[in-house]
Amino acid sequence: MTGPEDTALEALAAAEAAYADSRSLVTADAEGDERAVEAALRPRTLDEVVGQERVREQLSLVLQAARARERAPDHVLLSGPPGLGKTTLAMIIAAEMSSPLRLTSGPAITHAGDLAAILSGLNEDDVLFVDEIHRMSRPAEEMLYMAMEDFRVDVVIGKGPGATAIPLEIPPFTLVGATTRAGLLPGPLRDRFGFTAHLEFYEPEELELIVRRSAGLLGVRLTEQGGAEIASRSRGTPRIANRLLRRVRDYAQVRADGVVTPEIAHRALDLYEVDRSGLDRLDRGVLDVLCRRFGGGPVGVSTLAVAVGEERETVEEVAEPFLVRCGFLARTPRGRVATVAAWEHLGLVVPPEAPFAGSGRPEPGPDPRADAGAAGEPTLFDPDA
């Protein structure tokens, strides 16, 4: 039996599921099944990699020189936000060196012993990829310093006064570390990488090439403008571009003749609530509340979070970074402030009393991390002026 209450509950559950889906559409992290889909779309050689010109050239030099010397290349650290190609590059390094790739991750290495087991299993010239290297345990980190520099570790057997250290030789290998938080890596570890690549967000034209390449691999028919429409909403991130392409493909298949035109891409992404700047429902909700309810700010992040019905952390860590990057929101010592671009993006007229009104498009404040009410901080502007 289903009464009106059940129907309402079902509708609520469906709405929640739809919301969860729409959120995941523009998050830069990949989960579960998506990892498998991604594997099929990964470039296999440095030449296939789109964008990241500088990193590509630098890396290609490092690898060529190592090949010429017939030695394992220096250790490489890849840092940058999720979904920009760190794992892809690690795989390419191994492929270009024709070396086997061993994969592990920081969280998997909880004891120094875990790392010792991995290191002792390496063969000469292997590439060891440690994803999320900033999450490795301290003792393992210290063991890694030694292995990187001297290709040797001390394995401690036993405890207390009777403990003995047995030195263990390791064949020359290349460590490729990936991190989204380079700042969390201890200095001694960072210093032991011979080459650090910082991946940058991609330009729309680069994302367009990536979308076109992926469409080719997935057998999706795509017009040129259709690709541009997807690229422009992808937040500078290849993972998101590939994900939006798959959703737009579904739409084109079910609701049209399968060809992705700009019109189809536009309709599909509107349906999934990814707007023309790549903002999703939460991002827009934050801006909307900030402008309509708080006159553009400044308002504290906790108040903002309550107003959109989210946790403070969600607003701070999920929505804000992209809004700041787009220049829609500024974090100032007195609170969050909507920029002129934000009002315009929402299609609202900028009220003269709004912060930044009449001052053109400001750069977000000099200290983007500053939060509301930070004592002794200079005030960037006076909203009452």
Ligand X SMILES: Nc1ncnc2c1ncn2[C@@H]1O[C@H](COP(=O)(O)OP(=O)(O)OP(=O)(O)O)[C@@H](O)[C@H]1O
Residues that bind ligand X (CB under 6 A): 29-30, 38, 41-43, 49-52, 82-88, 180, 210, 238-239, 242
Looking at residue 136, the DSSP 8-state letter turns out to be S
Q: Which is nearer to ligand X, 42 or 325 (CB)?
A: 42
Q: Which is nearer to Mg ion, 75 or 345 (CB)?
A: 75
| 179 contacts Mg ion (rule: CB under 5 A) | no
43 interacts with, out of ligand X, Mg ion, none, CB within 5 to 8 A per kind: ligand X
Residue whose C-alpha is closest to residue 318's, from 292, 291, 281: 281
- The CA R_g of the chain, rounded to the nearest whole Å, is 25
Region binding Mg ion by CB under 5 A among candidate stretches 81-89, 102-110, 285-293, 330-338: 81-89
Q: Which residues contact 311 (CB under 8 A, 6 or more apart)?
A: 305
Q: Which is nearer to Mg ion, 87 or 242 (CB)?
A: 87
Residue whose C-alpha is closest to residue 153's, from 165, 140, 167, 142: 167
Residues labelled as active-site residues? 86-87, 131, 180, 239
In the list 66, 76, 85, 87, the residue contacting Mg ion (rule: CB under 5 A) is 87
* Closest distance to ligand X from the beta carbon of 339 (Å): 28
Q: Which is nearer to Mg ion, 177 or 355 (CB)?
A: 177
Cα separation, 227 vs 210, whole angstroms: 9
38 interacts with, out of ligand X, Mg ion, none, CB within 5 to 8 A per kind: ligand X
Residue 20, classed as helix, strand or coil, is helix
- The terminus-to-terminus CA distance of the chain in angstroms comes to 62
* Closest distance to ligand X from the beta carbon of 98 (Å): 20
* Closest distance to Mg ion from the beta carbon of 123 (Å): 24
Q: Which residues contact 285 (CB under 8 A, 6 or more apart)?
A: 308
Token readout for 23 is: 């959120």
* Closest distance to Mg ion from the beta carbon of 202 (Å): 16
Region binding Mg ion by CB under 5 A among candidate stretches 11-19, 82-90, 96-104, 295-303: 82-90
- Tell me which H or E stretch contains 79: strand 76-79
Number of other residues whose CB lies within 10 A of the CB of residue 237: 23
Q: Which residues bind Mg ion (CB under 5 A)?
A: 86-87
